Homo-oligomer: A and B are copies of this chain.
Amino acid sequence: MTSNADLIARRNRTIGPYSPLFYAEPLQFVSAKGVWFTEANGDRYLDGYNNVPHVGHANDRVVRALSEQAALLNVHTRYLNERVVDYSERLLSTFRPGLDRVFFGNSGSEANELALRIARQLTGSTGVIVSDYSYHGTTITLAQMTTGLKTREPLGAHVRTLRIPDLDSDPRPEAEVLAEALASLDASIASLQEGGFGVSASLFDPLFSTEGMPRVPAGLVAGIVDRVRAAGGMVIADEVQSGFGRTGSHMWGHDYAGMEPDLVTMGKPMGNGHPMSAVVTSEDVLDRFGSRNEFFNTFAGNPVSAAVGEAVLLEMEAEALMPRAQELGGQALARFRELASQHGDFVRTAKGTGLFLGLDFAVDGVPAPHLAKQVVEAMKARRVLISRIGRDESVLKVRPPLAFGAAELPILLDALEASLAEVRV
C-alpha cells in the first residue's frame, strides 16, 4: 500500500485537492466485509456510517449476482430483457397501490432530475419547494435548489425554501410551531404564483436526514402535501437516505412519515454500491410523460443492475434486515437516550428511528458542532466510523449498513459512551 502522503499527492494531481476526504487524518482501506473495514496493516474499523453498502460490504449474494450476470449479459433495455422486468415487479411490490411504475437511472441525481422534469412538464409550472437545509444532487437544476452545502449557484428564482422546525430545540407549543411553518409555506406558494412560476413540485426527504432529523410537529408533512397539491404541484419523496427499510418500521420513508407522494426517488442503498437509482410513480404519470418524450437512459435498467438490485431485496428478506433494524435501532435509541440524559450539559437529545440515529449537541441551548466533531474523531480513534449532520453540523450521524448486527451494537455503544466521557465542555 502507498503511504497516505504519497497517495494524497497523486490524488491531488488527478482528481484534485477539493474532492472531499473524511477526517483530519484520512483513512485508507484495502478491503471491507459486512460492517467492517480493514486497513493495510490489518486494523479493522466498524462501519457506523455508510448506508450505500446496505446489506453489508462485499455481500456474497450481491457479489455473486453481479459477477454471474456480468459474465452472462449486460445490455440496454432496447432488447427485451426478463431480468429487468422481474426486478421491477419485485421492487414495485414493496409500494402501496398506485405507485406501480418505474423509471430506472444510475444515481440519485438522475432520479431527482427526472422527477423534477416530469413535474415541470405535467404541471406546466417551474416553482419548487425544498427545505432550507437539504441536498438532492449535483446537476445544474439541483444545484439551483441546494441549501445544505456550498455551491456557487445562487438559489433559483423559482425556488422557495421551508425551514423544517424541530420540537427538540424549539420550546414553543407544537401548534404554534406548526402554524408558523405552514404560514411560511403559504407565503412561499403565494410568492411563486405571483412570480409567475407556479408550483411544479415539493422535494423533501421524508426523514429530513440532512436537516438533522428534526422532530417535526404532527401534521407538518400532511400540511405540506395538501398545500402543494392545492397549488397544482406534485409531491416528490426523496428516499435516497430514508428508503429500503432504513426506518426499521417501514420499507419507505414516505410510509413512515404518512405521506402519499406522486413520485418517489431512490438511489444509494438500492444496488449496495452498484450505480443505480429509480423513480417510482403511477401509471397515469408514466403515460403522460412517456407519451410526450422519447426518454431513454443507456445504462439504466441493464440486467446487471437488475440482478444486483434483486439480490439486495432478497438479502434484506433472507436476513430479515428491516425487523432487525427496528429491534436493534430500538435498543440503540434507548441507550442513546440514557447517554443524552447523562450528558445533559452538552447533549440536547437523542434522535432517530431504526438504524438512523443521532445525538444533538448543544451547550446552554447553543449548537455545539465542535463537541460533536470531537466525538466523531474520538470514535475514529476507537475504530468506529460515524459522522455529523444538521444545519449546524451538531448532530452525530449514526447510520450504519442495515446489515449491522447484534454483535456489533455493543461495540458501537461502548465506544460512544467512552468518547462522550472524554468530552470537556
Chain A residues with CB under 8 Å of chain B are 1-2, 4, 7-8, 10-11, 13-22, 26-32, 37, 50, 52-53, 57-58, 62-63, 66-67, 70-82, 84-85, 88-89, 92, 100-110, 113-114, 116-117, 120-121, 138-141, 143, 149-153, 267-268, 272-276, 283, 286-287, 289-299, 301-302, 304-305
Chain B residues closer than 8 Å to A80, beta-carbon distance: 4, 7-8, 11, 21, 26-29
Q: Which of B37, B273, B290 contacts A299 (CB 8 A)?
A: B273
Cα–Cα, bound, A305→B21 (Å):
19
Residues of B within 8 A of A143 (CB): 117, 293
Most buried by B among A7, A58, A71, A289: A71
Given A2-B82, A29-B75, A275-B305, list of 20 further CB < 8 A pairs?
A: A7-B85, A10-B89, A14-B88, A14-B100, A14-B101, A14-B102, A15-B101, A16-B290, A18-B295, A19-B77, A28-B80, A29-B73, A32-B73, A58-B71, A58-B73, A63-B70, A63-B71, A107-B299, A113-B138, A273-B302
Q: Is the CB of B273 within 8 A of A275?
A: no
Q: Is the CB of A138 within 8 A of B114?
A: yes
Q: How far is the CB of A19 from chain B (nearest CB, A)?
A: 6
Q: A80-B11, A104-B15 are in contact. Are A109 and B297 (CB under 8 A)?
A: yes
In the complex the two chains form, is A152's CB within 8 Å of B292's CB?
A: yes
* A77 to B11 Cα, complex, angstroms: 10
- Cβ–Cβ contact B152 & A31, under 8 A: no
Contacts of A274 in B (CB 8 A): 70, 74, 275, 304
Q: Contacts A22-B79, A28-B82, A85-B10: A15 and B152 contacting too (C-beta < 8 A)?
A: no
B108 and A110 contacting across the interface, CB-CB below 8 Å: no
Q: Given A31-B72, A152-B293, does the pair A78, B14 have CB atoms closer than 8 Å?
A: no
In the complex, what residues of B have CB within 8 A of residue A11's CB?
A: 80, 84-85
Q: Which 7 A-B pairs have the closest CB atoms?
A: A18-B290, A14-B88, A28-B80, A67-B67, A74-B273, A275-B299, A275-B275
Closest beta carbon of chain B to A303's beta carbon, Å: 9
User: Closest residue of chain B to A139, judged by CB?
Assistant: B113
Q: Which residues on B sit within 8 Å (CB–CB) of A58?
A: 70-74
- The 15 sampled A-B contact pairs (Cβ below 8 Å) are A15-B103, A18-B286, A19-B290, A26-B80, A52-B299, A66-B66, A66-B70, A74-B274, A106-B299, A109-B110, A117-B140, A150-B292, A150-B293, A152-B289, A268-B298
| Chain B neighbourhood of A286, CB < 8 A | 16, 18
Shortest A112–chain B CB gap in Å is: 10
Which residues of chain B are near A20, meaning CB under 8 Å? 77-78, 294, 296
